[in-house]
């Protein structure tokens, strides 16, 4: 028994002796990539497909080892075309992964920012204040609203479906835009560079629309949809309940007030003020906690 354990230990030591720092980094990077992919695919159709493929692969492997010739041929064919099949089946998920990678905000690093940061922040702060006040007023009167704040991903396709305004944001202007039965109330307002760039814009539906709770209306679905394919922050006011919600990265956070909405947007959009960031961190406990991931509660 002792000799057997000694042999195992010697084998382990022999294997470890061949491991280099590059091998360790290789394992760490691979683990990080797998963790990132699993995190993106949780609670989606891809998770169930991966389980099914893994089960099918294990069954084929076992049958092949037991000497089933036909099943061995099937298994070999399956693994030869497996990569192509996965790409076709997981096309929406792979597209989402690549879009998120492409939205890495390199230009917002301090050494890459321009000299007009304070001017940009002043416009953004005015937009945040106007949006927060307008949503509070619209919530009180149960007037529906959909406001998209563009960031790195440009929303040219959606802007083309609407009407160009290019106006300075104000609570009164938002109130006029979203008055029911007016020409611009149906659709989304898109904020670009701190300005109301366009109104009455149409947004895409969610990729997993069947997972969105039925009680959520068209505005909430559109908000989730555009947040899935861009890094935009989308503010929604329900005309049925007056509840203020925010969609970001395919997740819907509900039950904001005017104050908590202002705090949330400030934390997300203001990058140059360290004092603002510190204040936002110290007040995180006031953030709403109810989230809807991929439209799920």
pLDDT tens profile 251-287: 889 999 999 999 999 998 885 344 444 444 444 444 4
Return the pLDDT at 293. Answer: 45
260 C-beta neighbours (distance < 10 Å), count:
18
Going by their DSSP bridges, the two strands 188-192 and 145-149 should be labelled as: parallel
Return the pLDDT at 176. Answer: 93
Residues 6+ apart with CB under 8 A from 276: 266, 267, 270
pLDDT tens digit sequence for 161-184:
999 999 999 999 999 999 988 888
Q: For residues 13 and 17, give the distance between their C-alpha atoms in angstroms, rounded to a whole number.
A: 6
288 C-beta neighbours (distance < 10 Å), count:
16
Helices 91-102 + 21-41 axis angle, to 10: 120
Domain 112-293 architecture: 3-Layer(aba) Sandwich (3.40)
Task: Give the residue extent of every domain in the chain.
Answer: 2-102, 112-293
Return the pLDDT at 296. Answer: 40
pLDDT tens digit sequence for 119-156:
778 889 999 999 999 999 999 999 999 999 998 888 88
Q: Is the pTM above the cut of 0.85? A: no
pLDDT tens digit sequence for 230-251:
889 999 999 999 999 999 988 8
Alpha-carbon distance values, 17 to 3, 20, 253, 266 (Å): 21, 8, 50, 52
């Amino acid at each position: 028994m002792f000799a057997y354990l000694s042999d195992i230990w010697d084998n382990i030591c022999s294997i470890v002796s061949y491991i280099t720092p590059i091998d360790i980094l290789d394992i760490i990077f691979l683990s990080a990539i797998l963790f990132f992919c699993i995190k993106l695919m949780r609670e989606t159709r891809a998770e169930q497909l991966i389980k099914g493929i893994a089960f099918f692969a294990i069954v084929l492997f076992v049958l092949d080892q037991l000497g089933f010739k036909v099943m061995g041929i099937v298994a070999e064919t399956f693994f030869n075309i497996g990569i192509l099949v996965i790409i076709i089946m997981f096309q929406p998920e792979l597209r989402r992964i690549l879009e998120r990678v492409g939205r890495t905000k390199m230009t917002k690093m301090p050494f890459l920012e321009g000299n007009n940061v304070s001017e940009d922040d002043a416009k953004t702060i005015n937009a945040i204040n106007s949006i927060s006040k307008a949503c509070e007023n619209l919530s009180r009167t149960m007037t529906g609203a959909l406001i998209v704040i563009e960031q790195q991903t440009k929303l040219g396709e959606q802007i083309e479906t609407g009407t160009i305004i290019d106006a300075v944001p104000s609570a009164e202007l938002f109130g006029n835009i979203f008055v029911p039965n007016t020409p611009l109330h149906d659709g989304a307002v898109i904020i670009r560079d701190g300005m109301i760039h366009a109104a009455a814009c149409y947004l895409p539906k969610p990729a997993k629309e069947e997972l969105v709770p039925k009680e959520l209306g068209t505005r909430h679905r559109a908000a989730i949809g555009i947040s899935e394919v861009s890094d935009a922050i989308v503010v929604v006011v329900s005309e049925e309940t007056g509840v203020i919600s925010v969609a970001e990265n395919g997740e819907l956070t509900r039950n904001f007030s005017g104050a908590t909405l202002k705090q949330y947007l400030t934390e997300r959009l203001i990058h140059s003020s360290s004092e603002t960031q510190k204040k936002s961190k110290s007040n995180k406990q006031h953030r709403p906690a109810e989230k809807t991931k991929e439209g799920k509660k």
